[in-house]
Amino acid sequence: MGGLIEPIVQSWPSLKLVTCDIDQGNHSYLRKTYPNGKHFLVDVTSNKFETVVQHCSTEYDLAVCNPPFCWSKNKPYYRSLFSETQLANYAGHERIRLEVIFALQNIRLIGPTKTLIIILPELIVKGTVFRQFREYLVKNHAVDKIMKIEPNSFKGTEAQTYAISILKAKKQNKNIEKIDIDGTKEKISPQEFISGYKTPNIISNQKVDIFRGNWTGKKCNQSEFPTFHTTSFRKHNTDIIDLNMSSSPSIHPKLDSLDSSKIAREGDILIARVGSRTIGKIAFIEKGRCIISDCIIAVRFPNKFYARQFYKRYKYNIQTRLKEIGKGTCAKYLTHNDVNALVAEFTALDLSKTNDA
């Protein structure tokens, strides 16, 4: 609680402090710790936030925000916020990320040329689906810095995160400073930021084959051949799977007599397609081959090197997104189109500097 506030107060003890928190415990802690501040128990994403706007000056010098990383149904209040900005197209979406709402609300509270520092996941900073949001920031304000944060710095968040420094109402007219975890700095253009600062790379130009198995789980269990079903995820000690070690028939010559389009091979990424407890489970085949069940979707890049590179970089991000987009109320499931769209989204990110495969 107050993790983002404490270092700021230590640097500027006499600052005028205003906080907003939805949690009663956090709210009470902030009131007790900073008695001279103004503290609101409010959901920043609700229309009750308008009371905060009315009671607070909109000339604050700095806003610091660590929003929840999640999707939400696009409510009428959100649509009204979008209609007042150049994000009107978002008003037609069924769902929206709450990080976008928090950014808009915080920008409202700071004065012209003042600063918002907001923590955002890689999906918002680089994902294709949020290109319009980044374009809005560049055309209406100025993105000053993009600071990559050490992985797992925030409890319960495995996604790569960034601290973005934004100047209000100052149209972008200079390059953006990008700061890596080790302090390395480089400049990127506003257009590179809008595009997710991707550069031409072999991964994003590769044709990806995505296919689903057609054997039932029962048939897999009864087969003499090496198979992979949703229950197989927990049978392996690691998600990097060597089928030659765990199943000696994985190089069985009779596999060649079967429908090769349903046989996963080394370099393939396997995704659980159905099951509330298994949605989000993924694995990478390092060696060997196996038949996949109809509950598994395989993703195949033309080259194993690029497949491993993609998997290592985006494993946790993909797992998080798979859980978010699962359909159904009881038995969650994913469609081929869901996986295809997700893979397309992440292959659009900049992988040009990955060299750990």
Q: What's residue 245's pLDDT?
A: 65
Q: Please give the backbone phi and psi of residue 215, each rounded to the nearest 5 degrees, phi first.
A: -90, 145
**HEC profile for the chain?**
CCCCCHHHHHHCCCCCCEEEECCHHHHHHHHHHCCCCEEEECCCCCCCHHHHHHHCCCCEEEEEECCCCCEEECCHHHHHHHHCCCCHHHHHCCEEEHHHHHHHHHHHHEEEEEEEEEEEEHHHHHCHHHHHHHHHHHHHCEEEEEEECCCCCCCCCCCCEEEEEEECCCCCCCCEEEECCCCCEEEECHHHHHCCCCCCCCHHHCCCEEEECCECHHHHHHCCCCEECHHHHHHCCCCEEEHHHHCHHHHCHHHHHCCHHHEEECCCEEEECECCCCCCCEEEEEECEEEEECCEEEEECCCHHHHHHHHHHHHHHHHHHHHHHCECCCCCECCHHHHHHHHHHHHCCCCCCCCCC
Name the stretches of the chain with pLDDT < 70. Answer: 1-2, 57-58, 154-158, 198-206, 245-261, 328-331, 348-357
Q: What's residue 75's pLDDT?
A: 94
Domains of the chain listed by start with CATH number: 42-194 (3.40.50.150), 203-347 (3.90.220.20)
| pLDDT tens digits along 252-281 | 556 655 655 578 999 999 999 988 788 889
- Strand pairing of 95-97 and 240-242? unpaired
Burial of 299 (0-12, 13-18, 19+ CB in 10 A): buried
Contacts for 287 with CB less than 8 Å, ≥ 6 apart = 241, 242, 243, 244, 245, 266
Taking the whole predicted model, whether its pTM rises above 0.85 is answered as: no
* Cβ-contact 146, 125 below 8 angstroms: yes
Q: What's residue 138's pLDDT?
A: 92
